Amino acid sequence: MSLYCGIACRRKPFWCYRLLSTYVTKTRYLFELKEDNDACKKAQQTGAFYLFHGLAPLLQKSEHQYLPPKYNLAELERLLGKFGQDAQRIEDSVLIGCSENHEAWFALNLNSSSSTNASLQKLEMERELQGSFTELRKALFWLNVKDASLLSTAQALLRWHEAHQFCSRCGQPTKKNVAGSKRVCPASKSIYYPQIQVNLRELEAADWFSHDEVVTALRRNDPYTQQQNGTVPFWLPPKLAIAHHLIKEWVEKPTCSTLPA
Ligand SMILES: [Zn+2]
């Protein structure tokens, strides 16, 4: 990454500086929230929540595009009350990112798919929220790359937490920290860290380069080789990675002008 950064810096100093400083301040802030439960709880007060149901993100149609709506803490508490759910459910939410102004973003799965009356409740929620919980695979085609990337990360994290409710060493229930960056087994003190498939750094790496350079790189069979003029080694995530598909989506949809910042 540093090699590519150095090369990109010489070519696009302003973009490089802006991306790098934004990336560093956001990463520092997110790191703080992941480590500090109190700071993360505080961030929930001013943050925004994306909603899922059975791991499907809520989308609303506006004009000619689909958007995932965000809700603040007070709105979320009101909605949970209306759906007959305890406000404590908010503790199940996971930190998924933040804006440049340090508005923390969280994701909450309103119900797991195993619930018996899940589909009935889902319809009721969709009516109230004026949107629809949409299978992520379909949603990726309708969203811009930034939202698609965020929701992919969110879904992967929510799924990981669902699958790691119990300690694999002693079988006791594990407890997540506020941000959802780890789960701890109180009995054996084992710590489990989420492993998710979307690598945002890969998306950011693609943002260093021009649209044409990314298109050229996508056309090449071997993503690890140098560009034809030999000056810019350009790296793309492997074809099976979600990040690869998001980058591909970005170059194929001219309306989506930016990758996640
Ligand atoms: Zn254990």
Q: What percent of the chain has pLDDT over 90?
A: 44
Phi and psi at residue 144, to the nearest 5°: -75, 165
- Compute, in angstroms, the gap from residue 85 CA to the centroid of ligand 1: 29
Residue 140: CB partners within 8 Å, gap ≥ 6? Answer: 148, 152, 245, 246, 249
Helix (H) or strand (E) holding 29, with range, is helix 13-35
Which residues face 206 on adjacent strands?
Answer: none
Q: Look at the chain and count its residues.
A: 261
Number of C-beta neighbours around residue 37 at 10 A: 12
Long-range contact pairs involving 10-17 (C-beta distance under 8 Å, separation at least 24) = 11/232, 12/208, 15/208, 16/208
Domain spans of the chain, in order of start: 22-192
- Compute, in angstroms, the gap from residue 176 CA to the centroid of ligand 1: 13
- Compute, in angstroms, the gap from residue 163 CA to the centroid of ligand 1: 15
Number of C-beta neighbours around residue 254 at 10 A: 8
Cα–Cα distance for residue pair 178/175, rounded to 1 Å: 9
Q: Which amino acid is at 90?
A: I
Low-confidence ranges of the chain (pLDDT < 70): 1-20, 112-118, 196-210, 220-243, 253-261
Q: What per-residue confidence (pLDDT) applies to 99? A: 92
Q: Is 127 exposed, middle or buried, given 0-12, 13-18 or 19+ CB atoms closer than 10 A?
A: exposed
Is residue 98 within 8 Å of residue 44, measured between CB atoms? Answer: no
Q: What per-residue confidence (pLDDT) applies to 206? A: 62
Q: What per-residue confidence (pLDDT) applies to 198? A: 54
Q: What per-residue confidence (pLDDT) applies to 202? A: 61
Q: What per-residue confidence (pLDDT) applies to 18? A: 65
The CATH fold assigned to 22-192 is: Nucleoside Triphosphate Pyrophosphohydrolase (3.90.79)
SS3 call for 106: strand
- Compute, in angstroms, the gap from residue 173 CA to the centroid of ligand 1: 8
Q: What per-residue confidence (pLDDT) applies to 247? A: 74
- Compute, in angstroms, the gap from residue 166 CA to the centroid of ligand 1: 8
- Compute, in angstroms, the gap from residue 36 CA to the centroid of ligand 1: 22
- Compute, in angstroms, the gap from residue 193 CA to the centroid of ligand 1: 14
Q: What per-residue confidence (pLDDT) applies to 141? A: 76
Q: What per-residue confidence (pLDDT) applies to 229? A: 46
Cα–Cα distance for residue pair 11/165, rounded to 1 Å: 47
Helix (H) or strand (E) holding 50, with range, is strand 48-53
Best CA proximity match to 239, nearest among 208, 261, 218:
218
Cα–Cα distance for residue pair 55/139, rounded to 1 Å: 12
Q: What per-residue confidence (pLDDT) applies to 231? A: 42
**Dihedral in degrees, nearest 10, Cα atoms 134, 140, 141, 146:** 120
